[in-house]
Amino acid sequence: MLAYERTEYHHRHRIYVRGQVTHRTIRQPLHSYLHILELMAGQPNPEFLRRAIYLATQNVLTGAGGPFAALIVRDGSIVAEAANTVTTTNDPTAHGEVNAIRAACMALGTFTLAGCDLYTSCQPCPMCLAAAYWARIEAVYYGASAADAARAGFDDASLYQEFRKDSVDRKIPATQLLCDEAWASFAAWSASVNKIDY
């Protein structure tokens, strides 16, 4: 860093002021500019969310699926992006966030997305939020809310309400059976020397 302390760096900044975008050229030492980039790391970038919203809208206009899309971002770059493909793949789990997580894991060759952020056009449903947790996503940024999705006819808000209930009061009953026998799988996992923790 010391080698650059006297080097001036010109950068054309995009500055957001109440929805308006303006540009200006800033002359500053390179080490100062790099410090600003470090401070900005981890901060949400509205442009990524706009991209997700655009993809969600295009998904509807092209008849490819529902009005949802998501991006996985790491270090300021898009790793993967995907839209909802529930109706085109006959897969009820093919939500935009899940598709983006799958694509990002394939692109990076890993099952963990630690250090990545999720930008999604709508607040994730419980399934997608759980997927983000399993993937070790650092942060989630979303546009529309679960209430907005409900107004458009999607069940996101009702699912959140459902999971707040005791299991016996939910619409889909869940009953535990063969718990002793089922433990055999976990016993095998615990004893395995070849397992990969996740």
**Nearest CA among 127, 118, 72, 68 for reference residue 96:** 68
Q: Which residues are catalytic?
A: 97
Is the predicted pLDDT of residue 162 greater than 80, yes or no?
A: yes
Is the predicted pLDDT of residue 3 greater than 90, yes or no?
A: no
Could you give phi then psi for residue 167, rounded to 5 degrees? Answer: -55, -30
Query: Measured between alpha carbons, how far is 55 from 66 in angstroms, rounded to an integer?
Result: 11
| E-strand stretches of 18-124 | 20-29, 69-74, 77-83, 116-122
CA separation, residue 93 to residues 86, 117, 122, 130 (Å): 7, 20, 16, 12
* CA quadruple 36, 42, 46, 49: dihedral sign: positive
Is the predicted pLDDT of residue 190 greater than 80, yes or no?
A: yes
End-to-end CA distance of the chain: give it in Å, rounded: 37
Q: What is the mean pLDDT of the chain?
A: 84
Q: In what order do the strands lie in the sheet with 139-144?
A: 77-83, 69-74, 116-122, 139-144
pLDDT tens for each residue of 54-67: 999 999 999 999 99
Query: Measured between alpha carbons, how far is 145 from 68 in angstroms, rounded to an integer?
Result: 12
* pTM: predicted TM-score of the whole model, two decimal places: 0.77
